[in-house]
Amino acid sequence: MTRGQAAAALLLLVAVCGVMSGSATAVLRKDRALSRALVFWRSKKCVEAPDQTMWIHGWRFNALFGNCMGGDGHDQHVYFFDRGRPIGTDGLRTSAEVFGLWRDDKTFAFMYVIYKPHDGLCCPTGGGTIVRFKWNGKQFHALDSPPPRRTKTKAGR
């Protein structure tokens, strides 16, 4: 376990147990939904802390995204939450790179980086695809076509 992973695990433990003092405890009490979502994130065996840029404290719907089990950082997943309870994913299983772009109360927009067949993980050359997800009363569904799946190169990537 790296030092960053250990720090993330400790923060999660402290958040769940409510051991913090001062203003940090007040923030976590106000956002139990985030604490609940972070516990779910860890249950998925995600080794890195999720990106929280698409999380707005106090809003009903939120999303966490980032690297889960890819040692190379390219096993990106998006999870949607309703008051901190998991309610679905982007449906793409895994993506090499994902960026949160914008959101409102019921719509999220993510950019998926496109890798061409001979691109190394360092150097995507296919641009990006923006996919918006909107709450339809039952689940988040994609409003746009998902990015194409990357084909394998001669190296087997």
| Cβ atoms of residues 66 and 48 within 8 Å | yes
Tell me the average pLDDT of the chain: 81
- How much of the chain, in percent, has pLDDT values that exceed 70? 75
Question: Which letter does DSSP use for residue 126 in this model?
Answer: S
User: Nearest CA to 1 among 53, 50, 45, 60?
Assistant: 45
For residue 116, is it left (φ>0), alpha (ψ between -120 and 50) or beta? beta
Give the tens place of pLDDT for each residue, 95-124: 889 999 999 999 999 999 999 999 988 899
Say if pTM beats, i.e. exceeds, 0.85.
Answer: no
pLDDT band with cut points at 50, 70 and 90 for residue 5: very low
With residue 129 as reference, give the H or E element that holds it.
strand 128-135
Place of tokens 């096993």: 75
Say whether 52 sits in a helix, a strand or coil.
Answer: coil
